[in-house]
Amino acid sequence: MADGSAGRLGDPAATAPAVPLRRGLTLRLGLIALAVALLVSLLGGALELSMTLRAERAAAVTTLDRTVALVRDSAAEAAFQLNPGVARRVIEGLSAIDTVIHAEVRDNFGGVLGRLERPDPPAPGPDAWFASLFADVTRRQVALEYTGGGDPEVVGRLTVVLSDAALGARYRDHALASLAGGALRALVIAALLAAALAVLVIQPMRRLSVGIGRVDPARPGARPVPVPRGHRRDELGHVAVALNGLLGAFQDSLDGRDRAEAELRALTAELEERVAQRTRALADAMDELAAEKEETDSAFARLDEAHRDLERANRLVLESIQYARRIQTSLLPDKRALDGRVRDLHVCWEPLDVVGGDYFWLERCADGSALLVVVDCTGHGVPGAFMTLVVASELDRILHDQGLRRPSDILRALDRQVRARLRQDRPDSDSDDGLEAAVCLWEPGPATLTFSGAGLPLLYVEDGALHEVRGDRAWLGYRTLPAAESFTDHVVTVRPGMAFYMITDGVPDHMGGEPRRLLGRRRLGRIMLGNQGRPMAEQLAALRRDLESWRGAEPRRDDMTMIGFVPL
């Protein structure tokens, strides 16, 4: 949050943080809609003006041809008779047409029998360009033929010139009116789209943010996050339901732990009091030793019962974490989501504990492309699982609300939104968590794979050689680290048979071997090359066996995620 006006976590009076209009999604989406509407309006206007220009030029040619055809016989009669009077009547008829600026009837000897000249000053500024659009269709000169009952005979010529400035001015007025109407339509469409997005997306997100802010950290299940009205079956409703399930599971485990601790404290206090009393009584009467021993045995029996209660509470905690695993697993995509988009794909997702901080996503895009995302969040276990919930929610907004597809844009947006969601943009924030991520965009049309990474690499095998595309030395989130200004998009041309691998740090960080050392990416690459030519599921299964053999008795150190795929 940018200021202290929003309530703290757990405050029942908490409200959504005030977002300035210039930074809000409504203004951004409205500007995008305006830009698209203006572009469509300009393209439509340009097409309309082009068709109008063609019609105006055709009309000018038709008008000129009809005018010449109307007076041609009379002008031929005047030229044959060398009669200026008839020629003047022809010129007077042409003068009734306001766009005619020059008309002339000449006899066969070059003499002028009749002429019309009107002033036609050059069009100023931009009007000269509009006039130039009609300059090649405004003049017509025809030979005057007289038949007289015999063969046609050329007796003179008729010249008629229209004003290109007048035609250009008429076309200019039409063009300005068309552009003004298109701009007005674009503004109305943009305003309607922005209002619809504000009602359908932004306001429900603000209500969901208010509900999350009112969760009491001490009793996370006491106040469920309300599902936004009208969104129970969409993505926002699913996020709220999943969050309430996770909060309820942790509330159950906290309640069980509190009850066991209270019983253990009470029993321990009672035991200590009894031991103190018996110690004081020992100096007074040795004959009470037998009774004291019996009471002590009884106390130890109750202590054993308390330990059994503690074990039951621990079992409840483990059952709650198992339920949290089911919730986290439900947020992952179907591993067959890209069937038909890639030739072979297999995923290995193994948290170090029951739940973990690794996350992946597979997305089929409407344009035929496919997105693959691998994320390694801070830590593992329950804290890491909470981070994956934040990442899953923000990645869904990036892909489906913002519609981003370029890997570098997705990483930049994810960094910005994770920092905002964890309030790392505030100086008093306690959160210093973050993640590493890698994003691949497979486009079958041009047969290219675009990769961008923040701390994670892309490995691929081509012609029996292993290649590594390193991600940028950057991280997403982390309050104490500066945000990356940009991320690099690496484009790989895909050929048939090339195999690609996306991994988290938990794969090469296996400790083992003799002498004891990290596996590292170089040894990992040799293992991958040794498994080429096999289906991807068999490759990853063989890789897991090799990792277990390398590790020996050493325990795993981190969550582990691998995605292997063959596009063509």
- The 3-class SS string of 462-528 reads ECCEEEEECCECCCEECCCCCCCCCCCCEEEECCCCCEEEEECCCCCCCEECCCCEECHHHHHHHHH
Residue 534's pLDDT is 96
Question: Across all residues in the chain, what is the average pLDDT?
Answer: 87
The answer to whether 503 touches 496, Cβ cutoff 8 Å, is no
More confident: 35 or 290: 35
List the single range of 14-23, 234-243, 428-437, 456-465 with lowest mean pLDDT. 14-23
Residue 292's pLDDT is 77
Radius of gyration, CA atoms only, the chain: 42
What angle separates helix 407-421 from helix 381-396, to the nearest 10 degrees? 120
Does the pLDDT of residue 170 top 60, yes or no? Answer: yes
Q: Considering the domain delimited by 331-566, tell me its CATH architecture.
A: 4-Layer Sandwich (3.60)
Residue 5's pLDDT is 44
Q: Find the farthest-apart pair of alpha carbons in the chain and give their distance in angstroms, rounded.
A: 165
Does the pLDDT of residue 184 top 90, yes or no? Answer: no
- Average pLDDT on 350-359 reads 95
Does the pLDDT of residue 8 top 60, yes or no? Answer: no
492, two tokens? 């790989």
Quote the Cα angle for 10-398-234, to 5°.
70
More confident: 417 or 207: 417
Q: State pLDDT tens for residues 475-528.
A: 999 999 999 999 999 999 999 999 999 999 999 999 999 999 999 999 999 999
More confident: 213 or 400: 400
Distance CA 116, CA 112 (A): 11
pTM: 0.49
392, two tokens? 């899953």
Does the pLDDT of residue 1 top 50, yes or no? Answer: no
CB contact set of 355 (below 8 Å; sequence gap of 6+): 321, 324, 325, 328, 381, 382, 384, 385
Residue 2's pLDDT is 43
Residue 18's pLDDT is 63
Residue 3's pLDDT is 47
List the single range of 9-23, 243-257, 331-345, 380-394 with lowest mean pLDDT. 9-23
The answer to whether 123 touches 167, Cβ cutoff 8 Å, is no
Residue 53's pLDDT is 85
Residue 462's pLDDT is 97
Residue 16's pLDDT is 56
Does the pLDDT of residue 21 top 80, yes or no? Answer: no
- Average pLDDT on 87-114 reads 88
pLDDT band at 211, cuts 50/70/90? confident
Report for 97-111, 117-131, 401-415: range of highest mean pLDDT: 401-415
- Average pLDDT on 15-30 reads 68
Domain boundaries, the chain: 26-184, 235-328, 331-566
CA distances 269 to 272, 298, 312, 462, Å, are 5, 15, 21, 70
Residue tagged 């000897």 (tokens) = 109
Residue 232's pLDDT is 78
Does the pLDDT of residue 359 top 90, yes or no? Answer: yes
Report for 61-65, 223-227, 319-323, 432-436: range of highest mean pLDDT: 432-436
